[in-house]
Structure 1
């Protein structure tokens, strides 16, 4: 991770904080919301993702996620489970990527083009599911040459082996309070 956190080079990604995953989001919501506020104050873009299972009608070749988890766990677009948590601090002008169909927030979405348009080189990852969507997105970001900051208490549920893996080979793992302190110092 670069020593100098330049607000014009950072983006906060909030992954899948949806009703479907409320059980995992409940314990991290306050930390994530506070970090969102700090990011905004520092002028850092905040980008939200929303998972949806778009190929529900394709019975001949369902997606890997549908084959793995089953149709009963599918998230239908515009359903209650698809909606972002009502307590999540989302501003009306912030980007919501609602075409995410797999664990990786980069796969077949506009995330990379949004980041590249703004010359982002470092992403801060928060959200759910730590060991699936957050970890896969962190790995994907790393191989696409982004610096990765992974929020240990801003991803849920807690998953120590993911934190070990990310810190070993993919990014910097820090607590939300430490990230907020760094963001707040950027304003001084």
Structure 2
């Protein structure tokens, strides 16, 4: 059964890990995400970015399960070229960037929840990469923490279409409403703002 979330001004748009290391998957999303960012700003909806990384992956390999899984060489070092947000992504000077993010869940050990609560957000819009890792984990975490979730089907990407589609089905079944960026922008255009 499809569920529909009422679109209201108590929204926030989270763009997850649109970084150089994920360029092949993330770069094609930029036009849709930037158009969605513009619509969110017009409706006075806050936009938040996350930037995944590790201070010293070589040292963290003994303590971080995520770094163990991917290996120090497969992990993103904070401050490196791979850690940088992609050029062309519309990051505003006042947009919070969760550069402290170090695991799949953008809520874990970051300012995300405190930001959302300070803005009285009840619905989190999720976009970025990777669909089935950081985006899905954050969507599940948001749901468990009692936020409504909107998950952008063409505003997220991962390594294969099968993984992408699997996550969209899972999110739509049990965690949030899946919609296209264009559908969301159409709904945002009807919001008068806060």
Same fold (TM over 0.5): yes
Q: Under a length normalisation based on structure 2, what TM-score does the superposition of the two structures give?
A: 0.92
Deviation sequence 1:111-151 (CA, Å, 0-9, x none): 00110111100000000000000000000000000000000
TM-score between both structures, scaled by the size of structure 1? 0.94
Q: Deviations over 1:5-38 (max 9, x none)?
A: 221x100000000001111112211111110000
1:78 partnered with 2:83: no
Count of aligned residue pairs for this structure pair: 187
SS at match of 1:155: strand
CA RMSD of superposed structures (Å): 1.6
Q: 1:60–1:160: structure 2 CA closer, same or farther, 3 Å change rule?
A: closer
Alignment partner of 2:28: what SS? Answer: coil
Q: Show the counterpart of 2:190.
A: 185
Alignment partners' CA distance in 2, 1:164 and 1:76: 32
Question: How many Å apart are 1:62 and its aligned residue?
Answer: 3.0
Q: Deviations over 1:154-181 (max 9, x none)?
A: 0013400000000000000000000000
Give ranges in structure 2 of 5+ residues lacking alignment: none
Distance 1:10 1:55 in 2: 35
Alignment partner, residue 165 of structure 2: 160
- For residue 91 of structure 2, what is the aligned residue in structure 1? 90
Q: Deviations over 1:40-81 (max 9, x none)?
A: 000000000000123525367231111101111121111111
Q: Which residue number in structure 2 is paired with residue 170 of structure 1?
A: 175
- Unpaired runs of at least 5, structure 1: none
Distance (whole Å) between structure 1 residues aligned to residue 180 and residue 172 of structure 2: 13
